Structure 1
Amino acid sequence: MSREIRDITSSNEKEILSLNITKEQHRFIEPISQCLAEAKEDNRYVPLGLYKNDKAVGFSMYGKFEDQVWLDRFLIDKRFQGTGLGQYFMQKLIEFLKNKFPTNNIYLSVYENNKRAIKLYKKLGFIFINEEDENGEKVMKMK
C-alpha cells in the first residue's frame, strides 16, 4: 500500500477539488477551492495532495513566513476518516516540514471546539501557546 504527499498541479487539481468533509467539519476549514486560490495569490502557501494507492484521500497546505512554518490546512476526505490516515499524514507532513525547514518552528491553529483535531495535534506533540490567529483560532506550536 503506497501513501504519499504530492504537489498539486493542473493534472490532479480536479481530483483534489472533489474531496469532501462532513457537514459539521465545514465550520472548521475553508473549502479547498478557496485554499488553492489563496495559494495562487500568495506563493508563500504551498498546497499538497495526500494520496493512498494513487487515489487522493486528503489535502493540506503549508506556509512559510519568516522564521515560522504554518501547517495551515489539513483534511481527510470523509470516506477515509477513521482509518488512521489523518494521524499517518499529519506525522508525514510534520516530518516533511522539519526536513524542508529544519531551523524553523511549526505552528498551526485550530478552533477550540474542534476536539477531535486538538486530540490528534496534542498526540503528535503540539501545545497551545496562548495566542489566537486573526480568525479566533487557538495557535499551537510543535514542542
Structure 2
Amino acid sequence: MEIDIHDVSKNNLQEILQLHVAASQENFVESTRQCLEEARECTQYKPVGLYADGEPVGFSMYGYFPREQRLWLDRFLIDEHFQGKGMGTIFLQAMLDTLKKEYPAQAIYLSVYENNLPAIYLYEKFGFKFIDERDINGEKIMKLETAMR
C-alpha cells in the first residue's frame, strides 16, 4: 500500500469534506469542515489529507505555536469506512515522521477526551504520555518527547 500526506487545496477539498468518523466518535473530533474553518482563522494550522493508494482515508491538522512554543497534532481522524484496518497506526506513524522532519527536536502535543479509550490506546502505543494539563475544552493533554533539546 502506498501512503501519502497531501496539503488540503482546492484540488482535494471536496473529497476531504466527505471524510467523517463513525457516529459514536463525533463528540471526540470536529468535522473536517469545522477544522478547515479553524485553519482559515488560525494560519499556524496546516490541514492535510491522508491517502492510501490515492484514496482519501483520513485527515489531520497540525501547527507550531510560537507563543507557547508547542507543536500540536491538533486533529487526527480516519474515515469510518477505513477504521479497523490498521490505518490509524499507519497514518499516525506517517504524521509523526512528518512532524519530526518539519520540526526537528520538538516535543509533540495533542489533546484527547479521557473517555476516548481507543485514541488514548493508539497514542500511548506511540509513546505519548499524559501531562498534568487540560486544553480549553477540558481535554487531557498528552506529550511525546521526540529528541533531546
Q: TM-score range by the shorter chain?
A: over 0.9
User: Counterpart in 2 of 1:115?
Assistant: 117
The secondary structure found in structure 2 opposite 1:27 is: coil
**Which residue of 2 is the match for residue 32 of structure 1?**
32
Separation of aligned partners in 1, 2:138 and 2:62: 19
Question: 1:63 maps to which residue?
Answer: 63
Could you tell me how far 1:42 is from its partner in structure 2? Answer: 1.2
Gaps spanning 5+ residues in structure 2: where? none
Identity of aligned residues (%): 52
Query: Hey, what does 2:126 align to over in structure 1?
Result: 124
1:96 corresponding residue in structure 2: 98
Please give the TM-score of this superposition, normalised by the length of structure 2: 0.94
Instruction: Output the amino acid matched with 2:113.
Output: Y
What amino acid does structure 2 have at the position aligned with 1:24? S
Give TM-score scaled by structure 1 length: 0.98
Cα root mean square deviation, aligned: 0.7
Question: What number of residue pairs does the alignment pair up?
Answer: 143
Gaps of 5+ in 1: none
CA positional deviation for 1:103: 2.8
Matched, 1:9 2:5: no
